[in-house]
Structure 1
């Protein structure tokens, strides 16, 4: 594997026109700011309305948070799409099950987006307590938070090493991030429903995206100049 290849993240919902496109475009926009070229975010639907654009209210939400909804078309989730994906973020637990029916090897790399965000929050709290540094995230082999790397390829490789090891670290604190109600793992489906349901979707999805982007920012290798031998 090319160690400097972008980390590939897939978001999944049902029709691929309401929820997963919002997650896709907002994660991509935010991650591009943190590590340009470090991530490739895409989406698909378990029963996709193939070829359809993003729903207008979803597109408005993307614009509101600084993403770009243009050029989006829905696509059906397939085993081929799942091949080579580093992290799958689904909108509900049911979608997670459908992903694993297609590719059981993704068991340890597939989460609902809300549970994954809670896991990252737990990691941040645990690691800040251990380090004595507020809002810090743990270091991992090949990617020290705040460390300098000498060139873009090294920066991308360090970022990829961290994120490809992240699902296992996140799963290790799953027991500390369980919700009081299992429904809190899911994002409501607003398709063909009132605008208020889209607002509910936004209220559930936005905090999860913020937590993921915060983790990326706190752990991003920074550009710097490698020290020269004396």
Structure 2
């Protein structure tokens, strides 16, 4: 499964989610689970914001070598699942390619659907989506310009929604039980 994460600038929220997904896949030997990220108004070529990099490291990911990219149709088409931070980003991403809407959710929306319904595939997430188009869960706010604490809170919110969702959706090698979050989901000291 290839997941595309989307936010605005692609230097904080979406890169946190991307790098945590990569860490999760590596830790659990899930070679079929891949991730990338992009921004609707990306700061193309910029590295990850330093405070977001600290959050990624603190949650068990690796921020090294990242460069921001702008969301494009090719990325949307290539993704099996698209997870955005806000409804507006979800709607923009799904409008980029025909057939993208059924695989495009906000991260909190996908987490909420999976938790409430037990959905364990992208198709089942779509079946249980609110037909009104409302995510049913607040988006994840951009921490840029805010305190270090705000970055930590955003990282924790992303991890809190992402790891349980990955545990439900991630391809399992050899039919083994779905893995837990990296390091048990606990922030490194």
Pairwise TM-score range, normalised by the shorter structure = 0.7 to 0.9
* Structure 1 residue 61 corresponds to structure 2 residue 55: yes
Q: Residues 172 and 195 from structure 1, CA distance in 2 versus in 1: closer, same or farther, beyond 3 angstroms?
A: same
Which has a greater percent of helix?
1
Distance 2:83 2:38 in 1: 11
Distance 1:25 1:31 in 2: 10
Q: Which moved more, 1:114-123 or 1:58-67?
A: 114-123
> Which residue matches 1:202?
155
State the SS of the aligned residue for 1:105. Answer: coil
RMSD between aligned residues: 2.5
Equivalent runs, 1:1-230 vs 2, <5 Å: 7-124=1-118, 166-175=121-130, 182=136, 184-216=137-169, 220-222=172-174
> Which residue matches 1:149?
none
* TM-score (structure 2 length as normaliser): 0.82
Q: Residues 46 and 119 from structure 1, CA distance in 2 versus in 1: closer, same or farther, beyond 3 angstroms?
A: same
Distance 1:205 1:223 in 2: 27
Q: Which moved more, 1:73-82 or 1:106-115?
A: 73-82
Q: Which runs of 5+ in 1 are unaligned?
A: 1-6, 125-136, 139-165, 225-230
Are the equivalent residues in 1 in contact too, given 2:122–2:169 (CA < 8 A)?
Answer: no
Which is greater in Rg? 1
State the SS of the aligned residue for 1:89. Answer: strand
Are the equivalent residues in 2 in contact too, given 1:53–1:73 (CA < 8 A)?
Answer: yes
Q: Deviations over 1:3-61 (max 9, x none)?
A: xxxx2110000000010000000011112333431112000000000000001111111
Distance 1:24 1:195 in 2: 20
Distance 2:78 2:72 in 1: 12
Give 1:170 deviation, angstroms: 1.1
Are the equivalent residues in 2 in contact too, given 1:32–1:38 (CA < 8 A)?
Answer: no
> Which residue matches 1:145?
none
Distance 1:192 1:19 in 2: 13
Give 1:91 deviation, angstroms: 0.7
* TM-score (structure 1 length as normaliser): 0.69
Give the total of aligned pairs: 175
Q: Deviations over 1:155-183 (max 9, x none)?
A: xxxxxxxxxxx2211122234xx99x95x
Are the equivalent residues in 2 in contact too, given 1:113–1:185 (CA < 8 A)?
Answer: no
